[in-house]
């Protein structure tokens, strides 16, 4: 039987990692190495950082954001995770026949506004229309170019045993907001997506922590669980986080309990996890808390010697459990 | 946060009481996938004394569904004019050849829904197609499916039917005790199922086999309190039915929900994965609702499809083998490449162990 793509291959979890390694990486330049970073440093163009991302979120407009804001923030954030100052953006749109022009206007207004907010310039683009049913509303792709702020870029491979794990706010807001916007659940509390640019937060954090900031990673699809597993596997460390220290959002927690979702696996669009040398943890945390996107920032855990690749959670009861990378399709078209 | 600190304290105090109450080795069994997952997620086994073993039983509805019934769902999904509506839980469960996820990738019409009523609404909205809801679940889910069938009948939704794979928990508890294959000193009775059934059905279990049953909720303190009650009964050589989930479970259960089920379903012999055919252990649609029965509408033939030769789900469901002791666990069988449903259903015992308890493995 011919092997086919399933939604699980897009879930941000184990199957997606497997597929990328097996089918996509072989075509990539070998200097990329095995680490799957949020953005690439370019050999021969030492300060330039490049990334690309596609956005297929359904619905295109949701509480706390829309496709346009997401398409700018997502790419800006991927650049920021390598310590780059985002500078230029391209935008490609694939629009389904029959889509209302007003939706396109909404998306473009958001793109423009978010570009201004982040100081990034939209400099080139592409526009395609496909027949009805060949797409769904608007799909977007943005490519971002940024410039490294310092010589040593944070990397998922640089995490070291003893590093402290910092998180800038409560988990799961984007995923729950999208689910609610789809009308697939009735929630008492309104949850807004955390969709936000993180480049300013990263700037503040790097200023405070300098070279001691080893790893920055944004826990989007697959949530914190996938992000920490990627870090632990790539850097060859274990990571333990403590539930008691997590920033809280009761609305999201209630919704997750109701739906049986693990908020560690739910998508975020305005969160970052930082692994920093212990001596800079306090100043970095303080810098994060001084920033709008980091008011609830907290030290949630620590990187350990091993076993390499293992992520565990210390529960509020004091017990320990594995934090696994999500498997299968959690929520298709979450971003 | 102070609330959580207090809760953690209470839980540790309960754990100490359990340790004091357990004198000789005891083996308790939960028969509810939500319990299995709560135990794993909360790391509760780490709080229990070594002499207390907590087993998982046949409490995951997707897992106890035999391969033949999964194959029926696949057969329906492969039929071009049918859209299959299902809870997400079923999507990656392997049938004898493939899963619904595989079929969907090949173009089959499969819609994940959050409730049977949503499936009926979709059927009414898209009346040019046939819609089949895959009814899998115990006494918790069955009433909502029964109510949906009643609504479909009232609305005359003739393009809607249900593949009824619903099963009853108390007959499975009795079957395990009757077989005597595994020692069970007490049952942690399921919270949601008991909210429908009440306490009466467990009385026969307690009386006939002299095995205590304690209904438990799903928080750490709920589960530990119920385990403590079981441990005390064992120490005192009692076998009573107790309710440690009083905030949700009334002794009489939910008579209204039972009446809806009674009107729509009849109780029949049913095949369970790992347990074989158990008398009077499943629901089937009554003659009056025959036109909503996918088995009759599409003339589905019973199948003898067996399980994967390396799959030990049957033993896991009987409590004979613990997930971490299965030779295939995290080796030949993973959530990405499951041999059987216990590894891939969100309520499966192996899925819970894989997600949360692989610390030493």
Q: How far apart are CA A223 and CA A76, in angstroms?
A: 18
Under 8 Å between Cβ of B170 and B201: yes
Residue B200 pLDDT greater than 80, yes or no: yes
Q: How confident is the model at residue A43 (pLDDT cuts 50, 70, 90)?
A: confident
Domain A164-322 grouped into CATH 3.90.650.10: yes
> Residues of chain A whose C-beta is under 8 A from some C-beta in B?
1, 4-8, 14-15, 18, 184-185, 244, 260, 262, 310, 312, 315-322, 324, 327-329
Instruction: Say if strands A61-62 and A65-66 run parallel, antiparallel, or are unpaired.
Output: antiparallel
User: Which one of B40, B105, B220 has the shortest CB-CB distance to A321?
Assistant: B40
Q: How confident is the model at residue B154 (pLDDT cuts 50, 70, 90)?
A: very high
pLDDT of residue A186: 64
Q: So what's the ipTM on this one? A: 0.79
Question: C-alpha distances in angstroms, B103 versus A46, A209, A282, B79, B84?
Answer: 47, 50, 52, 11, 11
- The ranges assigned to domains in chain B are 2-56+169-234, 62-168+253-297, 313-360
Q: What's B62-168+253-297's CATH class?
A: alpha beta
pLDDT in tens, B98-149: 999 999 999 999 999 989 999 999 999 999 999 999 999 999 999 999 999 9
Residues of A in contact with B345 (CB under 8 A): none
Residue B303 pLDDT greater than 90, yes or no: no
Q: Which two tokens stand for residue B218?
A: 């799903």
Domain B2-56+169-234 grouped into CATH 3.30.310.80: no
* CATH no. of A37-148: 3.30.1330.10
**Intervals of CATH 3.90.650.10 along chain A:** 164-322
pLDDT of residue A32: 65
pLDDT in tens, A110-129: 999 999 999 999 999 999 99
Mean pLDDT computed over B340-358:
94
Burial class (CB in 10 A: 0-12, 13-18, 19+), A305: exposed
Q: How confident is the model at residue A330 (pLDDT cuts 50, 70, 90)?
A: low
Judge whether B25 is closer than 8 Å to chain A, CB to CB. no
Under 8 Å between Cβ of B323 and B354: yes
Judge whether B297 is closer than 8 Å to chain A, CB to CB. no
Mean pLDDT computed over B40-50:
96
Domains B2-56+169-234 and B62-168+253-297 share a fold: yes
Cβ contact (<8 Å) for B4 and A316?
Answer: yes
Residue A10 pLDDT greater than 90, yes or no: no
Under 8 Å between Cβ of B188 and B30: yes
């Amino acid at each position: 039987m011919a092997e086919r793509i399933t939604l699980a291959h897009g879930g941000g979890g184990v199957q997606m990692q497997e597929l990328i390694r097996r089918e996509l990486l072989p075509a990539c330049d070998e200097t990329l190495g095995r680490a799957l970073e949020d953005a690439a440093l370019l050999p021969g163009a030492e300060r330039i950082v490049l990334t690309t991302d596609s956005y297929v979120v359904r619905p295109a407009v949701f509480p706390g954001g829309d496709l346009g804001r997401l398409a700018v923030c997502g790419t800006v954030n991927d650049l920021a995770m390598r310590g780059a100052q985002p500078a230029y953006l391209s935008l490609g749109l694939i629009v389904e026949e029959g889509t209302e022009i007003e939706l396109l206007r909404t998306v473009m207004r958001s793109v423009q506004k978010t570009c201004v907010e982040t100081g990034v310039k939209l400099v080139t683009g592409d526009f395609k229309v496909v027949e009805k049913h060949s797409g769904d509303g608007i799909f977007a792709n943005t490519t971002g170019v940024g410039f490294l702020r310092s010589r040593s870029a944070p990397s998922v491979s640089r995490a070291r045993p003893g590093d402290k794990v910092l998180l800038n706010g409560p988990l799961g807001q984007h995923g729950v907001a999208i689910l609610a916007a789809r009308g697939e659940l009735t929630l008492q509390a309104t949850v807004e997506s955390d969709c936000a640019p993180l480049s300013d937060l990263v700037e503040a954090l790097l200023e405070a922590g300098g070279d001691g900031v080893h790893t920055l990673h944004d826990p989007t699809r697959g949530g914190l669980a996938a992000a920490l597993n990627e870090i632990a596997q790539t850097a060859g460390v274990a990571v333990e986080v403590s539930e008691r220290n997590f920033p809280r959002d009761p609305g999201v927690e209630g919704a997750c309990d109701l739906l049986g979702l693990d908020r560690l696996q739910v998508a975020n669009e305005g969160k970052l996890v930082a692994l920093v040398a212990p001596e800079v943890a306090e100043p970095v945390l303080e810098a994060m808390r001084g920033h709008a996107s980091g008011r609830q920032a907290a030290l949630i855990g620590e990187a350990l010697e091993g076993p390499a690749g293992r992520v565990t959670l210390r529960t509020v009861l004091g017990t320990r459990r594995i934090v696994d990378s999500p498997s299968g399709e959690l929520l298709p078209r979450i971003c | 946060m102070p609330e959580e600190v207090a809760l953690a304290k209470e839980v540790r105090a309960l754990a100490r009481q359990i340790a004091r109450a357990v004198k000789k080795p005891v083996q308790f069994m939960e028969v509810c996938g939500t319990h299995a997952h709560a135990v794993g997620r909360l790391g509760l086994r780490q709080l229990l004394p070594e002499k207390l073993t907590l087993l998982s039983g046949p409490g995951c509805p997707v897992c106890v569904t035999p391969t033949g019934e999964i194959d029926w769902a696949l057969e329906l999904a492969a039929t071009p004019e049918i859209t299959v509506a299902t809870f997400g839980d079923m999507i990656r469960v392997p049938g004898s050849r493939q899963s619904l996820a595989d079929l969907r990738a090949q173009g089959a019409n499969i819609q994940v829904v959050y409730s049977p009523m949503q499936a009926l609404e979709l059927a009414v909205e898209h009346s040019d197609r046939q819609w089949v809801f895959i009814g899998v679940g115990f006494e918790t889910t069955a009433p909502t499916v029964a109510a949906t069938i009643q609504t479909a009948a009232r609305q005359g939704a003739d393009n809607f039917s249900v593949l009824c794979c619903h099963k009853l928990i108390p007959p499975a508890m009795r079957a395990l005790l009757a077989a005597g294959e595994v020692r069970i000193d007490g049952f942690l009775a399921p919270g949601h199922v008991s909210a429908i059934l009440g306490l009466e059905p467990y009385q026969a279990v307690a009386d006939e086999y002299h095995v205590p049953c304690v209904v438990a909720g799903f928080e750490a303190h709920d589960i530990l309190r119920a385990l403590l009650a079981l441990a005390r009964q064992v120490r005192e050589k009692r076998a009573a039915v107790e309710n440690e989930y009083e905030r949700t479970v009334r002794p009489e259960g939910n008579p209204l929900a039972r009446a809806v089920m009674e009107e729509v379903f009849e109780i029949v012999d049913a095949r369970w994965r790992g347990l074989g055919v158990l008398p009077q252990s499943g629901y089937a649609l009554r003659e009056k609702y025959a036109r909503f029965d996918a088995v009759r509408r599409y003339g589905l033939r019973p199948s003898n499809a067996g399980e994967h030769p390396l799959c030990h789900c049957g033993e896991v469901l009987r409590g004979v083998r613990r997930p971490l002791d299965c030779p295939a666990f995290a080796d030949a069988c993973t959530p990405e490449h499951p041999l059987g449903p216990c590894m891939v259903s969100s309520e499966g015992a192996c899925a819970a162990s894989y997600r949360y308890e692989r610390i030493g493995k």
